[in-house]
Amino acid sequence: MLKHGEFLFTSESVSEGHPDKVADRISDTVLDAYLGADPEARVACETLVTTNRVVLAGEVRGPASVTSEGLIELTREAIRDIGYDQAGFSWKNAEISNYLHAQSADIAVGVDSAGEKDEGAGDQGIMFGFATNETDTFMPAPLYYSHSILKTMRDLRRAGDKRAFGLQPDAKSQVTLRYVDGKPVGATSVVISTQHDEGMNQKQLRDELRTIVADVLPKGWLPPEDEFYVNPTGIFVIGGPDGDAGLTGRKIIVDTYGGAAPHGGGAFSGKDPTKVDRSAAYACRYLAKNVVAAGLADRCTLQISYAIGVSHPLSVYVDLDGTGKDIDEAKLGRVLREVMNLSPRGIRQHLRLNRPIYAETSAYGHFGRTPDEARDTFPWERIDLVDALRGAFNR
C-alpha cells in the first residue's frame, strides 16, 4: 500500500490492442457467449494470440447451442472491434483453433450444490480489494491516469480524430506521480509507447500525444518536457500479437490497482463467476469502495480467503492503513460479513454476476469504471451499502 509523506509512485496501463489484452478480450467474449446462453454455465477459457493465430483452450460446461463455429466467429468479431486488420494479425484471415473441452467432473462435484450442500468455491485462494479517496473513482491516481490516457487515445482513434492520426491499437502508458502528505500533486514523468503507421513522423506523434496527455491530467500536472517519453526505442510499427505473443491473465496488476495494493495472484478474464478469483475480488472491491465512500476511512484494503468446495470464506481481513475515522477494524470485518453474503452464491446473487457483462472489463481495468445503469454493468462499482455501513457505526 502507498505510504504517507512525500514519495513518487508509478503505475502502468496497456491498451485493448496489447497482445495480452487481446487474449483477455477473446476469453471474456467466450465467457459472455456461454453466460448469454445459460447463466449457470461454467467456463475457464485461456487464449493464446500470436502472428495470425489464435488458440482457445480450457474447460467449459454449457449448452450445445454454443458451437465451436460460433465461438470462432465471435473471436473474429472481437479482433475486428479492437481494430486489427494488419498483415501479421487480421480478423479476416487469422487461423483460430478451438481446444475447449468439458469441465472436470472432480471439480464439478466440489463446486456444485446438491441436497443440503451449498455451492462451494471454484478454487482455493486469497482475494484483495482496495479503495482510496484520492480520485473520484476511488482508485489510485497513477493507475487512473494511465488508464485514462489510453482510453482517450482509443476513443480518438476510433472516431478518426486528427489528434490520433496514425495510431494503431497496441499501446502502453506509464505515469509517475509525486505525493505530498500522502496525496498526489503532479506528474514527474509520463511514458507512452504506441504502435503507429509506418513512416509516421515521430515529432508529430509526440505533439499529438502531448496534447492528449495535457487534456487528461489535471491542469499544471504535465511533467517536464525531458520527462515526457514517447516510443523511447524510436519506432513502433510491428505490434500487437504479430510483435509479441499474448496470453490470458498476464496483466493482473493493470487489471486491479496498479501495484498500490496487494493482489492474490489470480487472473479474472475467461473465468465464470463461480471462480472466486474473479467474483470474490469483485466483492472485495465493492466492499472496500463502500467503506471509503461512507467516510469511514480514506483508504481500505480487504482480504478474503476461500477453499475449493467450501461455501463460506475462511477469513475476512480489513486494513484501513491508519486512516479509519475512529473505526474498529475487527468490528468492520464483522459488519461487512453482515451486509453482504460472501459465499460464492451470495456474491453472484448480490452483484448479479451470472450475466454476459465481461467482455468490456477486459481492458482499462476491472475497477474504477462507471456502471451503466441501463445494462447494469460493473455492479461492483456501486456504492449502495453506504447507509448500512454508516448506520452500523452510528454515523
Query: Mind telling me the catalytic residues?
Result: 18, 20-21, 46, 59, 172, 236, 244-245, 250-251, 271, 275, 277
Q: Find out whether 376 is annotated in a ligand binding site.
A: no
**Distance between CA atoms of residues 277 and 356, nearest Å:** 18
Q: Find out whether 196 is annotated in a ligand binding site.
A: no
Q: Find out whether 174 is annotated in a ligand binding site.
A: no
Check: CB of residue 288 under 8 Å from CB of residue 301: yes
**Distance between CA atoms of residues 331 and 356, nearest Å:** 36
Main-chain phi, psi angles of 69, to 5 degrees: -65, -40
Q: Find out whether 16 is annotated in a ligand binding site.
A: no
Q: Find out whether 267 is annotated in a ligand binding site.
A: yes
Say if residue 39 is exposed, middle or buried (CB neighbours under 10 Å; 0-12, 13-18, 19+). Answer: middle
Q: Find out whether 250 is annotated in a ligand binding site.
A: yes
Question: For the packed helices 202-216 and 141-159, what is the interaxial angle rounded to 10 degrees?
Answer: 120
Please report the sign of the dihedral spanned by the C-alpha atoms of residue 323, residue 327, residue 330, residue 336. negative
- Backbone region of residue 73 per phi and psi (left: phi > 0; alpha: psi in -120 to 50; beta: other values): alpha
Cell (9 digits) for 28:
471474456
Strands (DSSP E) found in the chain: 7-14, 42-50, 53-61, 85-86, 89-90, 95-102, 125-132, 167-180, 183-196, 228-230, 246-247, 299-306, 315-319
Q: Find out whether 134 is annotated in a ligand binding site.
A: no
Return the H-helix or E-strand segment holding 202: helix 202-216
Q: Find out whether 244 is annotated in a ligand binding site.
A: yes
Q: Find out whether 195 is annotated in a ligand binding site.
A: no
Please report the sign of the dihedral spanned by the C-alpha atoms of residue 36, residue 40, residue 41, residue 46. positive
Both ends of the chain: CA-CA distance in Å? 27
What are the angstrom distances between the C-alpha of 248 and each of 99, 109, 299, 318, 371?
Answer: 15, 26, 30, 30, 24
Q: Find out whether 92 is annotated in a ligand binding site.
A: no
**Helix, strand, coil % in the chain, rounded to nearest 5:** 35, 25, 40
Binding-site residue numbers for Mg(2+) are 20
**Sequence ranges of the binding site:** 18, 20, 46, 59, 103, 170-172, 244, 250-251, 267, 271, 275
> Residues forming the annotated binding site for ATP?
18, 170-172, 244, 250-251, 267, 271
Q: Which residues are annotated as a binding site for L-methionine?
A: 59, 103, 244, 275
Which residues belong to the annotated binding site for K(+)? Answer: 46
